[in-house]
Structure 1
Amino acid sequence: MHRLDTLFARLFGVFLIAIVLGHFLAFGWLDYAGHGPPNRLPPSMQTPPPNRPDGEASALRPAGPEFRPGPEFRPGPPQSLIDRLSWILGGPFLFQLVALIIAAWVSARLLTQPISQLTVAAQSLSDNLDSPPIAETGPRETREAARVMNHMRERIVAQIQQRGRMLTAMSHDLRTPLARLKLRIEEIEDPQVRNRATQDVDDMIALLNATLDYLREQRSEEPWVLYDIYALAESLVENAQDDGADVRLAGHCRPIRVQAMALRSCLTNLLDNALRYAGHATLELHEDEQYVEIRVIDHGPGIPEEYREVVFEPFYRLEGSRNRYSGGVGLGLSIVREGIERQGGTLELVDTPGGGLTVLIRLLARE
């Protein structure tokens, strides 16, 4: 019984039933139809027709005593090729074809339904580790796959929780000595040495904060809400303009379902990058039936095409210095791309017409 509850056993059983049923219908039709249309009787059974000269052939009566075919008589199939093909295609072939098509459709449904359910559950699990465990139902192979994936989910959640505890401890253990070190630097009499040491400590604190933010973004799970993208863009532009930045807003789009705080963080990071390198930025919104596009446009130095993928790697920076005022620590674009992809969107770097860089975000228009 254990081997019967498998996908192979189900497929084999369905097709076996289909073949047997197809042949059963074919033989039943042959028996009912008498093996095809009747043929002409043999010459020995022919007799001249009444009121006609003797010797003229007739298939209506046999010579001698009156001939009556008994129940054991079955005329054979038609002799011509066309008659044979029309007889076969119109009878057993049609029955078997219909039976096999129905059986194939039923078997495909039986096989793909548990796999489809497992795929949907796995996709939900990949999007949100806090989603319910996958139901361990269906054939043995599907139940085993669901059990393994649920076990994997438990281990991933446990590792993330352990990493969160390590981050908390690291944050506490590193911030305290760095703060004490910064206070002691103030006692240095040489202003040049004091400024350089202070800058180094500030860079270490910035690197620590950026790393913690990056790891926190990776493990955070924010609920989905219907959010007004235009209101968010308008708020970000107004805040930047209040700080004296050259930022403009263009276009419009409808509200869609997103992770609001993650999207706000991504757009804020992109605007800061544009202002840092170009001194100005334009935020454009576009929409169609399927997607909402957000473009952060600048006319700065841009990024060479051969570097437009590696800049998304953590801690990668185009310039050699590690001055956080000139280029940060190399985590901003990594956080932005992961935040956008976590919402099912895409992020692409393209050239701005006339020079510069455009960050193109495309989000699925969920409502």
Structure 2
Amino acid sequence: MKRLIPDTIFARLFALIVLAILVSHLATFAVLFGFYGERLPPSPEHRFEPAPQGTFGLPGNHRPPMQPPWQGKLPPPHAPEFKPMREGGPPPGLWIGLVTQFIALTIAAWFGARVLARPIQRQARAAAQLGETLNSPLLDEEDGPAEARQAAQVFNQMQRRIRAHIDERERFLAAVSHDLRTPLTRMKLRLERPDENIQTDRLLSDIDEMAMMLNATLDYLRDESMVEEQQKLDIHALLDSMAEDARENGRDVTLAGEARPIWTRPLTLRRALSNLIENALRYGHKAAITLTDAPTSLVIEIRDAGQGIPADKLEAVFEPFVRLETSRNKAYGGVGLGLSIAREAARQCGGELTLKNADGGGLLAMISLPRAT
């Protein structure tokens, strides 16, 4: 239910001051009139006798003697109901009233300070806990005035961003370590066949790929380049080069279809494709790549010849370090980061990665990338 009066610090402070003034004045009136007797009686009635007509303007200005202008008697100066102010200052009751007001306002200010400081104290304790552990509980965003609730929301958002930033860095470092295994494996296999002249160029290509990964990692950690800039990429040439590299090492990788160049983040997209191809080869023994071009999108499909994944686990496998031992043999290795890295990379390129079991067997991974319009 919406409040008629906003629950803000100003409203609370204003209500508190009004209440303090009201209470202090009530206490003052109680002291002045409750402990010092009744009020003075009304002054005696005055009744003036009119002067006789025709007495003014007579020769000799004869006037009758004037009558007293009042009837009744005034109380004696020191009667109980006559209480003039004491000489030299106000009566004691006024002093007591002022002291009562001061005490009431002091107590109200003390309680007010506690009420107003409580949300700030909670935030200070939460900040201290956040410095000790990122898993500290969030602040209650429904408690306190509007300003305190807003501050709690901002603090919780900051805590979530810090936690997400640390988690992202940890995943990024794990992803880079995972990605470096691919060019290292290719280099190892090529060094075992040094008699082929083409291996020198391929080794240099692998070294360049590793250098790009390491440079991107350093840039990320230094906050110099949080997001890779988009460039025009010949996606068919990239996939053809990756397929050829795999075939040189005895892997079954094919490429079908054509596609126009696309504006994307080349290194990030290569990371996604490399992980999907390696995942298909590891668990499905082959990778059939198909390009489907459209005016507004580009779809890259990578199909393997493995056992597939249970339908209820198609999303779970995208979680970091998740491996399905029931359908994927543990002997194939891996730490369960490939699909997680691939989806994150696809999303950084503005696309999306989905999985489904292909008709006739095998797992089908699809990356859909938008084209700039």
Structures share fold, TM-score greater than 0.5: no
Bigger Rg, which one: 2
Report the TM-score when normalising by structure 2.
Answer: 0.41
